[in-house]
Amino acid sequence: MLEVRELSVGYGPVTALHAVSFDALPGTITAVLGANGAGKTTLLRTLSGLVRARHGSARFAGDELLGRPVETIARAGVAHVPEGRGIIEELTVAENLELAALWRLGRRDRRAAIAATFETLPRLGTFRDRRASGLSGGERQMLAVGRALVTQPRLLLLDEPSLGLAPLVTAQLMAILADKTAGSEMVVVLVEQNARSALSVSTRAVVLDLGEVVADDESAAVAADVDLRRHYLGY
């Protein structure tokens, strides 16, 4: 379980997150929603150690995440799919996956996990040995998500995975996510602009506005709250 408590983060004079608290449970997807600049990316970057927090704590399975180096957090099983292109373009598709699994799995498990990823995402399999720079936007996003899943993470942080994807592909992606999460021990934090599709797969939703939590509830309840939707989610 991920427990975020009173988390505050700032960049110089800018306060990006202010006393943010929420929980995310294993085997469920927790959606983090909000307008541009709400602090969603900052939240994920803080959890994976890229940005230092000012106050607060973020405990995962009882261990404090804050204050530890990025690499240590990653090796402990936190997979972060960053906003935009997170793939390494100069490496091949297979090398991207191999690199991700390097510190999580042994040599044999690695090979099996990579093969399994190509089974789930057959399109990627056809590009195996091609440089990732040659992939289309959607394929890149598939690779980024596949690369996160290949590590068999305990905590998965996704930053706007649907960005730039066709609605059909978005739906496919969400289905894969829901499928991988259900029945697993994985904690998934899904940051989305596309609130509708995020709410459709998530169990709980946290709505941020200007760095503060304005709602933290069951996804269904958030989706049903017309005022909240109008105000913060824009649909």
Partner 1 sequence: MASLDASGTARGAGAGDAIDAPGSGRAGGSRTPRRLRLPRQPMLRHLALAAAGAALCYLVTSLLSPYNDVLAGEIGLYVVALAGLSVLTGMSGQISLGHGAFMAVGAYTAALLANHTGLDLALQLLAAAGTAAVLGAVVGLPATRLRGPYLAGMTLLLALALPPIADRWNSLFGGDQGLVTTPPTAPGDLNAQQWLADIELWLAILTLVVVANLVRSRFGRAFRAVRDDEVAAALAGVHVARTKVIAFVVAAACGGLAGGLLGLTTGVVSTGEFPLTLSIQLLAAMVLGGAGSLVGAWWGAVLLVYLPEWSSSLAGDLQLGAGTSAYLATIIFGAVLIVAMIAAPGGIQGSLRLCWAYVGSRRGGAGTGDAVRGDAVGGDAVRSGAMAGGERPLQDRAPSSGGPAAPRGAAGSPGSAPNVQSNESSNSDG
Partner 2 sequence: MTLFVDYSLNGVAQGMIFAALALALVLIFRATRVVNFAQGAMAMMTTFGASTLLEHGVGYWWAFVAALAIGFVLGALVEVLLIRRLEGRSELNPVIVTIGLLVVLEGIAGAVYGNSSRGFPAAYSQTGLVIGHTTVDFSHFDVFVLVAVVVLMLANLVLFRATSLGLQMRASAYAREMSRLLGVRVGRLLTLGWALAGLAGALAGLLTAPTSSFSPYFMDLDLVYAFTAAVVGGLESPVGALVGGLVTGLCISYVGGYLGSGLEPLGALALLIIALMARPKGLFARPPARMV
Calpha distance 16→47 (Å, rounded) = 14
One-letter amino acid at 184 equals S
Calpha distance 58→152 (Å, rounded) = 21
One-letter amino acid at 121 equals L
Among 9, 33, 47, 87, the residue binding partner 2 under the rule CB under 8 A is 87
CB of 147 vs partner 1, minimal distance in Å: 15
Calpha distance 176→51 (Å, rounded) = 29
Is residue 42 within the footprint of ligand ATP (CB under 6 A)?
A: yes
Give the footprint of Mg ion on this chain (CB under 5 A).
41, 83
CB of 52 vs partner 1, minimal distance in Å: 4
Strand partners, 33: 192, 207
Strand partners, 155: 78, 187
CB of 140 vs partner 1, minimal distance in Å: 13
Among 20, 38, 101, 228, the residue binding ligand ATP under the rule CB under 6 A is 38
Binding mask 157-196 for ligand ATP (x = CB under 6 A): ------------------------------------x---
Q: Which helix (H) or strand (E) holds 168?
A: helix 167-181
Is residue 228 within the footprint of partner 2 (CB under 8 A)?
A: no
Is residue 49 within the footprint of partner 1 (CB under 8 A)?
A: yes
Binding mask 74-113 for ligand ATP (x = CB under 6 A): ---------x------------------------------
Calpha distance 232→195 (Å, rounded) = 10
Give the list of residues 6+ apart from residue 188 with CB closer than 8 angstroms, or none: 24, 28, 29, 30, 155, 156, 158, 177, 181
CA quadruple 185, 191, 197, 200: dihedral sign: positive
Q: Which of partner 2, partner 1, ligand ATP, none sits in contact with 16, Cβ below 5 to 8 A by type?
A: ligand ATP
What residues make contact with partner 1 under the rule CB under 8 A?
10-12, 41, 45, 49-52, 54, 68-72, 82-84, 86, 159
Interface residue list for partner 2 (CB under 8 A): 48, 50, 70-71, 74-75, 80, 82, 85-91, 95, 98-100, 102-104, 133, 147, 151
